Structure 1
């Protein structure tokens, strides 16, 4: 059945998406803003996978860049322009929109576009949690020999404004869009990789938006420690650490936020937009795509990596990957190899 979208759905999707973002996936304020705007200007439609025909064409929408970039500038109409540019490159009509991942703003990716265009958002995200690279959100199309990726990106203002339409190999298209996000000030709105519904159902994370909404309901129905406990109970995770942020290092480079968070001087978490690892005394307790997430210990509000500060009192939760709704890319070890180079820690051996 189609899912009714209203103010409560927006709030729950954004807060639940923030948890499933695992440190990335955008900021809560941005998600609430774009979700509420969608409701103000129209009637965004959210459909389940079962309501779509297998041959109908879906396009992925996303934000690409570094959430902490100081000069980022993406406005709602940039999302629409990206879809328009992609449509011009296609020979078939687009019948639906899917988001690239769950996150505070990415869970509601496509809701504004749906309100403007009338196209439905379909509950088959490319991934049920947030991830750093565009290829991780590309439904394993990297494994399709000869696949041509069609992508469009729009963002920036003034001399930094750009719009791009590219048709190329997936690697070249993804890296080009990522590099241009830097030129645009740190962030661009993207529409990419049209695929049939049948392919999306096979490789995507069907039902992950509904899961985000459920997580948001669990979080928003309680306060403080009770909110955190409610979330971990729903997801089958646990609170693994709590304490003060004693060290925080963040560098925005190559269109990504990269760094570490240290809690109580002994719990160390690395991140590449999203949290990648959590360790204590040399022992690994969680490894991407396990969900590692920080929440304010007092309020229960999710805290993404771009908003962590020294002195904050945070709770850290972990949810095993087996408990999440994930795409086929999260089982593709070749897509995990770049993480090791970026964060300087082993990933593959822990998968």
Structure 2
């Protein structure tokens, strides 16, 4: 099905994305501004994957960096520039774009590009929830023999602006872009990893954008508890943050938040929340969804948590989310486990079941 994205979609997509961001995926106000601008300058269209031939080419639109970085800037023009740089080097034309993940800014990835270029956005994400590494959003391309990654990137304030295009191995190009985001002040817009639509359907999360919009409508109508119920989860705890640490490491926000409740609820994050612990026991681990809300019931990114803030924590099981197979590839968790200093990758039996 083909449809025009409308003003009614904007708020639902951004707020649904913010919940599915699980602490990452960008910020609500910036997501709203970019989506509103897209509808002001053009008419972006959302197409289901069955509107394309399986061998047509689509590319991932993403934001790369550390949300808590002190001096980031990614403008809509930077997003468009990243696409221009990618298209310049591709051996054949793109038929569509899709986002890397759901998040407050990332669910609407591609809307501005689509409005300006006429390329449709596919109702598909590399992953239906936010994740911290580009490899997690690469739909298993790290095990696809001979795959050559193309990536275009741009971002930063004028005095530290960077842009470029890189091609090579998936790990090598991803490392270049991650480093570029650091040099740009902590954040860069990226268009990357062209693949066939059929491959994206098999290895990504089809329907992810509609999923976020539906969740957003439920949240906007009834609040966090209804959003939790929609996801088959619950608001597990409400408390005041008594300890919080966040540092930028390797272009990511890495840290921990501890609440003042009797169970000593502890949330570790690498951009997104990775683990939820209470009473000294781990109750949930990524890719389970762990999301925080502020005292007013608004989605709260991990970068915006602070000591003294009252927050509520939503936990929903991974089984109730639209996830790509990469979420059950333990090898992709190794860099995150190194950053946090402990293991939490899915067990081998979960991988087999997936």
Q: TM-score, normalised by structure 2?
A: 0.96
Q: 2:148 aligns to what?
A: 148
Asked whether the equivalents of residues 219 and 300 of structure 1 are also in contact (C-alpha less than 8 Å), the reply is no
Local SS of the residue matching 1:341: helix
The 10-residue stretch of structure 1 (32-41 or 69-78) with the greater mean CA deviation from structure 2: 69-78
1:262 aligns with 2:251: no
Unaligned segments of structure 1, at least 5 residues: none
1:304 aligns with 2:295: no
1:98 aligns with 2:93: no
**Cα shift at 1:44:** 0.7
Local SS of the residue matching 2:124: coil
1:77 aligns with 2:77: yes
1:250-289 map, 5 Å: 250-264=246-260, 266-289=264-287
Q: 1:167 aligns to what?
A: 167
Write the distance in 2 (CA, Å) between the matches of 1:273 and 1:217.
25
- Aligned-residue CA RMSD in angstroms? 1.1
Write the distance in 2 (CA, Å) between the matches of 1:139 and 1:115.
26
1:203-222 map, 5 Å: 203-222=203-222
1:1-351 map, 5 Å: 1-222=1-222, 227-264=223-260, 266-296=264-294, 298-348=295-345
**Cα shift at 1:8:** 1.8
Q: Deviation string for 1:250-269 (max 9, x for gaps)?
A: 11222111100111150000
Write the distance in 1 (CA, Å) between the matches of 2:272 and 2:345.
17
Asked whether the equivalents of residues 98 and 125 of structure 2 are also in contact (C-alpha less than 8 Å), the reply is yes
Q: Deviation string for 1:254-301 (max 9, x for gaps)?
A: 2111100111150000000000001122211000010000012x4321
**Cα shift at 1:345:** 2.1
Write the distance in 1 (CA, Å) between the matches of 2:159 and 2:14.
32
Local SS of the residue matching 1:9: helix
Asked whether the equivalents of residues 127 and 205 of structure 2 are also in contact (C-alpha less than 8 Å), the reply is yes
Size of the alignment, in residue pairs?
Answer: 346
**Cα shift at 1:349:** 6.2
Asked whether the equivalents of residues 337 and 347 of structure 1 are also in contact (C-alpha less than 8 Å), the reply is no
Write the distance in 1 (CA, Å) between the matches of 2:346 and 2:40.
48
**Cα shift at 1:156:** 1.3
Q: TM-score, normalised by structure 1?
A: 0.96
Local SS of the residue matching 1:173: helix
Q: Deviation string for 1:15-45 (max 9, x for gaps)?
A: 0000000000000011001000001111011
Asked whether the equivalents of residues 151 and 191 of structure 2 are also in contact (C-alpha less than 8 Å), the reply is yes
Asked whether the equivalents of residues 339 and 347 of structure 1 are also in contact (C-alpha less than 8 Å), the reply is no
* Structure 1 ranges of 4+ moved more than 4 A: none
